[in-house]
Amino acid sequence: MVQKAERVQGRRGKPVGNVTRGTTNPNRMRRLDRWLVGPQAWRLRSAVDPLVVDLGYGASPATAVELFERLQTVRPDVRVCGIEIEPERVRTARALERPGLSFHVGGFELPVPGKPVLVRAFNVLRQYEESDVAGIWGLVQSRLAPEGLFIDGTCDEIGRRVTWVALGADGPVSLSLSMRFGGFALPSDVAERLPKALIHRNVPGERIHTFLQAMDQAWLEAAPLASFGNKQRWTAMCRSMRDAGWPLQDGMSRWRLGELTVDWAAVVPA
């Protein structure tokens, strides 16, 4: 159910946002997290204050705990703050607090001291209206540290089909798609998990539709490589996309994971 963002503008002393359904599962965010500790790890390593926010972690704090443990491999002194608008979820999560990991009641205003270098909001904005996205993005972006990144993402229930938009302080930077090999017939199957800013734009005339159709075509053309495995086929698809002029940001090491990142300009809504 899509919620009307009656509190996106906020009220004095009240968290900004609405209570979400809160459904989650352990290891659901693994594909995004390995991107954060991979090509984006430099942001955390170079941060003066290694503050990270997991915004809207849901009814269970499992994925926030996983994020903390994964980021510790990059920056042992990382501070992860889980934020939820539902107080009872925060009370439950506080039993798992430890040095570097804490939980707070709040919303998009990010009620934590300091400016976070990473903010992760997964399966949160999909429960809002598309017209609310720009305002929410802007509010979170205004809280970012220099070189900080806000990740607005969506995934299926067990994290096999995942997409996310990465935003810097000045606006969206990229769109990433990550899928489990064997879990799709065509790359465009991920369309149902596009972030809110794009999910209603997968129609002729929109850039995201053109991009997904190009992926499908390149995937089909790489069918002869299927006998060598889907990893080889996906890699060939990505190489074909790059050769065709699509501004992919990543390379072989990411493609082999079933991942692809493209410049936001290539998919921005018309």
Instruction: Tell me the pLDDT tens digit for each residue of 220-255.
Output: 999 999 999 999 999 999 999 999 999 999 999 999
Do 137 and 250 have their domain in common? no
Whole-number pLDDT of residue 12: 58
Q: What is the pLDDT of residues 83-125, one digit of tens each?
A: 999 999 999 999 999 999 999 999 999 999 999 999 999 999 9
Do 61 and 153 have their domain in common? yes
Rounded mean pLDDT of 4-33?
A: 77
Whole-number pLDDT of residue 21: 78
Whole-number pLDDT of residue 7: 47
Give 132's contacts (C-beta < 8 A, 6+ positions apart). 5, 8, 125
Q: What is the pLDDT of residues 25-62, one digit of tens each?
A: 899 999 999 999 999 999 999 999 999 999 999 999 99
Do 158 and 226 have their domain in common? no
Does the residue 23 lie in any domain?
yes
CA 97 to chain centre: 24
Give 19's contacts (C-beta < 8 A, 6+ positions apart). 85, 86
Does the residue 20 lie in any domain?
yes
Domain that holds residue 262: 200-270
Q: Give me the residue label for tokens 């909001």.
A: 121
pLDDT band at residue 155, thresholds of 50, 70 and 90? very high
Q: How many domains does the chain have?
A: 2
Whole-number pLDDT of residue 23: 80
Q: Which of 169, 191, 217 is the last residue of a domain?
A: 169
Do 49 and 99 have their domain in common? yes
Do 127 and 12 have their domain in common? yes
Q: Which of 169, 190, 222 is the last residue of a domain?
A: 169
pLDDT for 20 beyond 90? no
Whole-number pLDDT of residue 4: 47
Alpha carbon distance 206, 204 (integer Å): 6
Alpha carbon distance 185, 93 (integer Å): 38
Strand partners, 55: 83
Do 79 and 31 have their domain in common? yes
Alpha carbon distance 28, 159 (integer Å): 4
- Helix axis angle for 207-221 and 230-243, nearest 10°, is 130
Do 75 and 209 have their domain in common? no
- The per-residue pLDDT of the chain, averaged, comes to 94
For residues 263 and 207, the answer to whether their CB atoms sit within 8 Å is: no
Whole-number pLDDT of residue 11: 53
Q: What is the pLDDT of residues 168-218, one digit of tens each?
A: 999 999 999 999 999 999 999 999 999 999 999 999 999 999 999 999 999
pLDDT band at residue 6, thresholds of 50, 70 and 90? very low
pLDDT band at residue 2, thresholds of 50, 70 and 90? very low
Whole-number pLDDT of residue 1: 40
Alpha carbon distance 81, 212 (integer Å): 35
Alpha carbon distance 190, 156 (integer Å): 9
Exposure pattern of 32-49 as b/e (b: 16+ CB <10 Å)? Answer: bbebbbebbeebbeebee
Does the residue 175 lie in any domain?
no
